[in-house]
Structure 1
Amino acid sequence: MPSLFKRSLLPKLRSFPLTADAVTILSGAAEFRRCLLEKIASATQRIYIVALYLQQDEAGQEILDALHAAKLARPQLDVVVVVDWLRAQRGLIGAGKQPGNSAWYQEATRTHESEVPVYGVPVQTRELFGVLHLKGFVIDDCVIYSGASLNNVYLHKFDKYRYDRYHLLQNHALADSMQHLIQHGLIASKAVHRLDLPNLPTTRSLRNDIGDLRSRLKHATYDTTAGTTEKTGLSVSPLLGVGKNNPLSRVICELIASAQHQLTICTPYFNLPLAVTREINRALGRGVKIDIIVGDKTANDFYIPPSEPFKVIAALPYLYEISLRRFAKRHQDSIDSGKLNLHSWKDGDNTYHLKGMWIDKRYTLLTGNNLNPRAFRLDLENALLIDDPKGELLEPRSKELGEIFQNTSRIERYQDLETLLEYPAAVAKFLKRVSRVRIERLLYRML
């Protein structure tokens, strides 16, 4: 198919060949936790954990203890944990002043006989302007890919869960490529330091090194020299992106532009970049059937019930709903015709964190990218693009989508979504103030 882009990346992507039996899709967060612990316990060569954060709670402790136990049992095992530098040194939002997870990492290093280094990657000098949002755990030759971070709710340790996608890809070349980026693109940087050791440098003192790291990352790619550009069979391409007009963002737009029959999109924070909205509009114009699955505002991980004290962060789910309502209103004709289907996910008081895309019966995008302006400009993001020209994964792919749709309801009319007048008084007051001082547009760019 000829590309609609002058400098198309999609046909030039190098990929690693896959076999259908090398791909496993897990069905939930509890299964993901069990699988992760089993893989860590049985690892013989390497364990590379990359996440936004590894939280100090019961599930986080379980993971960290498992890593130390694996290292103690097999000292030759290469064990590395990489998290966001800034996120690791603050407490939970709204929980008051806390030392952050870094103090916990340091205590673990002091009290264990084994050594599990935890590296902090500063993507920016302030968390608001960019974080480490890479996904993917490399355990021996298996890549475990999910948008989930590591804590009780993401791992369904107790009664609540945060729903995500969970894929296992058994592929030596892909695992090598992802490890190589962690070692040489991140850990080797002067801006990156171990969080599990005391006397951390200040972020201010790292300002120049952080700028150098971000500059390098804008031009960094996964090493795919062991791959191929042939598109004849099942394969996977790792993608990296940070900053404006980055390769990952461009491929996302190209994938939407390539859709001819069916496009399904998942995002927990409905705030689409202009480039994505433009390609969706074009896809609708050429007759593509589009399904967009978002979380109900009460299934958003920032949601705070009206019965609890108001915090500014509690306004975010309502901002996303406002954005969704505007989008639905503009496209009501397409909703009426069945060409556009907006689905709202809700399962009790559990939360929704799914990201990714399914394009026709060929492409599947696994990513932590929220498909919002922040992901397209600020955060360091990655993705795995599975190309399936022969339809070898159609059955598990269909099963995954079926499970996702189970707890969704279709939004029939934009009026089904609440307005500012129906929001809790504290939320409505804050949003009115934001609108009056004209910073709403800036918020949508940052969140």
Structure 2
Amino acid sequence: MPSFFKRSLLPKLRGFPLSTDAIEVLSGADAYRRCLLEKIAQATRRIYIVALYLQQDEAGQEIYDALHAAKAARPELDIVVIVDWLRAQRGLIGAGKQPGNSAWYQAMTQSHASEVPVYGVPVQTRELFGVLHLKGFVIDDSVLYSGASLNNVYLHKFDKYRYDRYHLIHSKPLADSMQHLVEHGLIASKAVHRLDLPNPPTTRSLRNDIGDLRSRLKHAAYDTTAGQLPNGHLSVSPLLGVGKNNPLSRVILELIASAQHQLTICTPYFNLPLPVTREINRALARGVKIDIIVGDKTANDFYIPPSEPFKVIAALPYLYEISLRRFAKRHQPMIDSGQLNLHLWHDGDNTYHLKGMWVDERYTLLTGNNLNPRAFRLDLENALLIDDPKREWQVPRRVELAEIFQHTTRIDRYQALQTLLDYPEAVGKFLRRVSRVRIERLLYRIL
């Protein structure tokens, strides 16, 4: 494959070999929740849960109870939960002052004889400038990977769900590699402390340790020495990235640049970094057919109906729609020809959280990376890249894509997307004020 980069990473990625039946695609959030609970109950050696947050609600309680039950039944089990340090110590956005999930973790530890440690990882001293956005649960010799966090809507506990991607990969070397990073790259840091014990240190007291951790993470990577260089067989490569020009971001750009026929991209927040937009434009110039699937603004997890009181966070879905409309307007000729296809996902009151890419019939990227400036510069991100050079894993791949497209509508004309004049009065007023004071560009860089 020709490389468009001077220091290409793709040919150097070591991957763990897979058989075609080693990758299972789960069909939805409910199946994902049931699979997670089943795997926890069956675990015999290790359970490493890594997520942005484990929420204090019915689904979160169900998962937490299952972890304690597994530990009580098999005390030798190595169980670790990793969440974002700052996110765990605040309440929900817009819900007023709350103690955060950390108070719940402490109550759970005090009320159980079994021990399930919950570690908080501070990627930055302020949540606005970076969070732990790693994904993936290691359970024995399998990895359950999704962009979803752990709460009612992500796990479809009741009537609503937040749609994501869900994969179960059976690979001991992959599971070992992901556990090793958590154990030696995160927990071993002086900046990382347990949140389920009383009186955790203040973020302010950890400033120097947090800076040291972030510096180390910029040079960290998953251990793939047990893997192989691309050799014509099905494989999976774990990727890690934080900060500007990190390896994960570079691989994402290389994947887009490698596309020769077909490229499909999913992102819940249409706010593409400039390098991604450039590579998409180059791919279109090469004649690549591109599908981009985003959530309708009403399927955005920040959307608040106009009938409810306005909060600043409610403007985000409209900002993303403005970006999408601008992109569509610039590329209308390619939309007309069918080379570029923009799809809006919408399914009732449910929300959309899909991320990832499908490149030609070879590469499939599983990730929590939102393909936005924040993911490329601020948050600690990871991904699993499935390389299928012989096209052995095409049927499950096509089935997953078909399910994603099921609730989408193609945008035929950029005029089909609303403008500022169509938005609720409070939203329009806020966005006009933002535009006047010229902080719109800053918002796009951190949201």
Same-fold status (TM-score > 0.5): yes
Q: Distance in 1 between matches of 2:10 and 2:232?
A: 14
After superposition, residues 33-44 of structure 1 pair within 5 angstroms as 33-44=33-44
Aligned to 1:46: 46
Instruction: Indicate the residue corresponding to 2:405 in structure 1.
Output: 405
The equivalent residue for 1:370 is 370
Within the alignment, does 1:197 sit opposite 2:197 as a pair?
A: yes
Runs of at least 4 residues off by over 2 Å: none
Unaligned runs of 5+ in 1: none
Aligned to 2:111: 111
2:12 & 2:230 partners in 1: Cα distance?
Answer: 9
Please give the secondary structure, in 2, of the residue aligned with 1:263: strand
Partner of 2:301: 301
Is structure 2 residue 275 aligned with structure 1 residue 278? no
Residues of 1 paired with 2:230 and 2:337: CA distance? 38
Cα displacement (A) at 1:113: 1.2
Q: Which residue of 2 aligns with 1:290?
A: 290
- The code of the aligned residue for 2:391 comes to G
Tell me the distance in 1 between the aligned counterparts of 2:188 and 2:119.
11
In the alignment, does 2:60 pair up with 1:64? no
Q: Secondary structure at the match of 2:341?
A: strand
Q: 1:66-215 to 2 correspondence within 5 Å? A: 66-215=66-215
Residue 7 of structure 2 corresponds to which residue in structure 1? 7
Q: What is the alpha-carbon distance in structure 2 between the residues aligned to residue 289 and residue 3 of structure 1?
A: 19
Correspondence for 1:232: 232
Q: Which residue number in structure 2 is paired with residue 433 of structure 1?
A: 433
Structure 1 window deviating more from structure 2 (381-390 vs 224-233): it is: 224-233
Structure 1 residue 321 corresponds to structure 2 residue 321: yes
Q: Where do 1:341-352 residues align within 5 Å?
A: 341-352=341-352
The number of residue pairs the alignment matches comes to 447
User: Residue 23 of structure 2 aligns with which residue?
Assistant: 23
Partners of 1:230 and 1:100 in 2: CA distance: 45
Structure-2 separation of matches of 1:352 and 1:307: 21
Q: Are residues 1:265 and 2:265 paired?
A: yes
**SS of equivalent residue, structure 1 residue 60:** helix
Q: Is residue 177–residue 222 contact of structure 2 (8 Å, CA) maintained in 1?
A: yes
How far does residue 376 in structure 1 lie from its aligned partner after superposition? 0.1
Name the CA distance, whole Å, in 1 between partners of 2:441 and 2:43.
47
* C-alpha separation in 1, matches of 2:265 and 2:191: 35
Encode CA deviations 1:405-430: one digit per residue, 9 max, x unaligned: 00000000100000000000000000
Per-residue Cα deviation, 1:171-226 (whole angstroms, up to 9, x for no partner): 00000000000000000000000000001110000000000000000000000000
Q: Which amino acid aligns with 2:321?
A: E
Looking at structure 2, the residues matched to 398 and 230 of structure 1 have their Cα atoms a distance apart, in angstroms, of 23
Matched residue type, 2:362: R
SS class of match (1:382): strand
Secondary structure at 1:251's aligned position in 2?
Answer: helix
Deviations 1:315-358 (A, max 9, x none): 00000000000000000000000000000000000000000000
Shift of 1:231: 2.7
Conserved 8 A contact 2:2-2:258: no
For residues 430 and 210 of structure 1, what CA distance do their matches in structure 2 show? Answer: 35
SS in 2 for 1:3: coil
Q: How far 1:125 moved relative to its partner?
A: 0.1
In 2: Cα distance, 1:58 partner to 1:12 partner: 44
Q: Secondary structure at 1:200's aligned position in 2?
A: coil
The one-letter amino acid of 2:407's match is N
Q: CA deviation at 1:232?
A: 1.2
Residues 205-253 of structure 1: CA deviation (Å, up to 9, x unaligned): 0000000000000000000000011331000000000000000000000
Instruction: Give the residue type in structure 2 aligned to 1:130.
Output: G
Aligned partner letter, 2:126: R
CA distance in structure 1 between the partners assigned to 2:241 and 2:59 by the alignment: 30
Q: Quote the Cα distance in structure 2 between the aligned partners of 1:187 and 1:347.
A: 39
Q: Normalising to structure 2: TM-score of the pair?
A: 1.00
Q: C-alpha separation between the residues in 1 aligned to 2:344 and 2:408?
A: 5
Match of 1:256 in 2: 256
* Counterpart for residue 418 of structure 1: 418
CA distance in structure 2 between the aligned counterparts of 1:390 and 1:33, rounded to whole angstroms: 32
Matches of 2:55 and 2:199 in 1, distance apart? Answer: 21
Write the letter of the residue equivalent to 1:15: G
Query: What is the root-mean-square deviation in Å for CA atoms of aligned residues?
Result: 0.4
C-alpha displacement at 1:2, in angstroms?
1.8
Give the Cα–Cα distance (whole angstroms) in 2 for the partners of residues 406 and 232 of structure 1: 32
**Matched AA of 2:239:** L
Q: Which amino acid aligns with 1:429?
A: K
Aligned equivalents of 2:232, 2:343: Cα separation in 1: 34
SS in 2 for 1:401: helix
| Distance in 1 (alpha carbons) for counterparts of 2:117 and 2:171 | 25
User: Contact 2:11 / 2:230 at 8 angstroms: preserved in 1?
Assistant: no
Q: Deviations over 1:372-406 (max 9, x none)?
A: 00000000000000000111110000000000000
CA distances 1:249-307 after superposition (whole Å, capped 9, x unpaired):
00000000000000000000000000000000000000000000000000000000000
Q: Which amino acid aligns with 1:363?
A: Y
AA paired with 1:319? L
| Structure 2 counterpart of 1:361 | 361
Amino acid at match of 1:64: Y
Q: Which amino acid aligns with 2:140?
A: D
Q: CA–CA distance in 1 between the matches of 2:178 and 2:140? A: 12
Task: Please give the secondary structure, in 1, of the residue aligned with 2:225.
Answer: coil
Structure 2 residue runs without a partner (length 5+): none
Q: Partner of 1:318: helix, strand, or coil?
A: helix
CA contact (8 A) 2:18 2:171 kept: yes
Distance 2:325 2:429 in 1: 19
| CA distance in structure 2 between the partners assigned to 1:110 and 1:243 by the alignment | 37
> Which amino acid is the alignment partner of residue 260 of structure 1?
Q
Cα deviations across residues 123-162 of structure 1 (Å, max 9, x unaligned)? 0000000000000000000000000000000000000000
Structure-1-length-normalised TM-score: 1.00
How many angstroms apart in 1 are the aligned matches of 2:267 and 2:259? 18
